[in-house]
């Protein structure tokens, strides 16, 4: 099983790249105080740094807004996940504790102001691919029981025809969401080689170390770009 990125994605976004973290054997049923503390600290630091700031105009958000425009996605209507997260924090709405794996991903995402997804590997139907949509694709919105169709030529994370994230990093699906029962998780960190690659690598390292040393997972890390378009997400 692999994570694959379609050629057309790189033709549209020539500097896009992906830091990958794979966690196997996580016990996500147990609360972790260190993770909760990290999320709280990073949330407060982020909130302080965003006082009086227009989130849409900060460098770590602008690169995604520009990419969305290249993908014919209106970034005002469909915010990149990191812009939505930072906007929430800037309004003082805080971050709820969801479960250890999700909280850790959010904590690292806030620290480096970079989008980090999380997908349950055991729910995948073959490869996980970042590609442009196909006619048979479908999407089950988070928290919903009603299937949505997907727009033509929309960039999606998908396994088979099950779309797991619409509009690249906009919204994840109910299918493949991380629960307390999730044991094997694929974390993609999406960014750009000419803008925020250093933050991507730092986020990858911190996330991987926390998963390995604090949560006792088997961890593998990888890198996907125009020269290396896939990475194995098989069990270690």
pLDDT number for residue 235 = 52
| pLDDT computed for residue 131 by the predictor | 98
What's the confidence (pLDDT) of residue 234? 78
Interval 68-104: pLDDT, tens? 999 999 999 999 999 999 999 999 999 999 999 999 9
The pLDDT value given to residue 169: 97
Residue with tokens 């194995």: 232
Mean pLDDT over residues 139-156, rounded?
95
CATH number at residue 218: 3.50.40.10
Range of the domain at 11: 2-232
* Closest alpha carbon to 13 in 158, 168, 223, 173: 168
DSSP state of 146: S
Read off the pLDDT of each residue in 41-68 and give the average, rounded to a whole number. 96
Contacts of 106 (CB under 8 A, 6+ apart): 39, 85, 95, 98, 116
Tell me the HSE value of 98 on the side-chain side, using a 13 A CA sphere: 15
Mean pLDDT of 146-165: 96
**The model scores a pTM over 0.85:** yes
Model pLDDT, residue 11: 98
Q: What is the mean pLDDT of residues 44-50?
A: 95
The mean pLDDT of the chain is 96
Rounded to whole angstroms, the Cα distance separating 119 from 154 reads: 19
Which value, in Å, is the radius of gyration of the alpha carbons in the chain? 17
Contact of 158 with 127, CB cutoff 8 Å: no
- Provide the domain count of the chain: 1
191-208 pLDDT tens trace: 999 999 999 999 999 999
């Amino acid at each position: 099983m692999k994570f694959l990125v379609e050629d057309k994605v790189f033709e549209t976004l020539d500097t896009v790249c992906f830091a990958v973290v794979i966690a196997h054997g996580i016990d996500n049923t147990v609360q972790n105080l260190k993770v909760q503390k990290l999320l709280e600290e990073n949330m407060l630091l982020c909130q302080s740094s965003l006082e009086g700031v227009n989130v849409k105009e900060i460098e770590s958000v602008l690169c995604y807004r520009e990419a969305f425009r290249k993908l014919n996605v209106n970034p005002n209507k469909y915010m990149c996940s990191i812009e939505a997260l930072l906007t929430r924090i800037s309004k003082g709405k805080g971050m709820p504790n969801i479960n250890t794996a999700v909280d850790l991903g959010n904590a690292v995402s806030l620290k480096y102001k970079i989008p980090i997804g999380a997908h349950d590997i055991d729910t995948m139907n073959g490869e996980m691919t970042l590609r442009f949509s196909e006619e048979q694709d479908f999407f089950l919105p988070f928290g919903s029981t009603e299937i949505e169709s997907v727009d033509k030529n929309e960039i999606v994370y998908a396994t088979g025809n099950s779309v797991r994230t619409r509009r690249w990093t906009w919204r994840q699906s109910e299918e493949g969401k991380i629960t307390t029962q999730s044991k094997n998780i694929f974390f993609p960190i999406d960014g750009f080689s000419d803008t925020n690659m250093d933050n991507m690598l730092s986020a990858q390292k911190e996330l991987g170390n926390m998963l390995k040393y604090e949560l006792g997972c088997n961890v593998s890390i990888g890198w996907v770009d125009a020269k290396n378009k896939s990475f194995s997400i098989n069990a270690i």
